[in-house]
Structure 1
Amino acid sequence: MIRHLVLFKLDEGVERDEPRVVAGVKAFQELADQIPELEFWECAWNITDRPIAYDFAVNSAVADTDALKRYIEHPAHQAAAGQWREFATWVIADYEF
């Protein structure tokens, strides 16, 4: 199994309740039902307020590197990530477990 972690940082001046951010969150929330490669999926806002903290997190798992590639290339994932490119930056980590 491969764990796929993504941490998002909203751009300066962007608020969680902006319509484009709300739409981006909704797009990620719906991915679990749209991408069969996802074995596990959760996403949520960070609940702590610390200078080093990111704002939003995705925690997911897929079976193997081929499934990860299919997930990343899936049109629904590409569309959701494209929304986030408008108002956030992110870091990822993929590891086997």
Structure 2
Amino acid sequence: MADENAGTTGVEELRAQFDALQRRIAIATVGAQEDFVALLASPEVDGLMAAMTSAAADLDEATRKRVAAWVKMRSDIASLAKSELVRLRGLAAVADQGEVNGG
């Protein structure tokens, strides 16, 4: 009987290709992610959020709650973006180390 898997890519090879692709994507996007994190965490955006909160202080409760939710979402997005940046840097470092080791 012929091997029905003959000529197909094995799971381990596919995993290696996937890992290599993730490292390439990380290298390509780490700079943009750094810019995104810097913008979200910037004093200017902090000032904008504070101004929005202040401007909404005299408005109805529903509007104040929406503004507070926007401010919190920005904070949450900034935290997630920082976590993603750490992940991308880690993948890029692995790729850099592989190049140093001849991989």
Establish whether TM, by shorter chain, passes 0.5: no
Q: Give the number of the structure whose residues are more often strand, by fraction.
A: 1
| Structure number with bigger Rg | 2
Q: Give the number of the structure whose residues are more often helix, by fraction.
A: 2
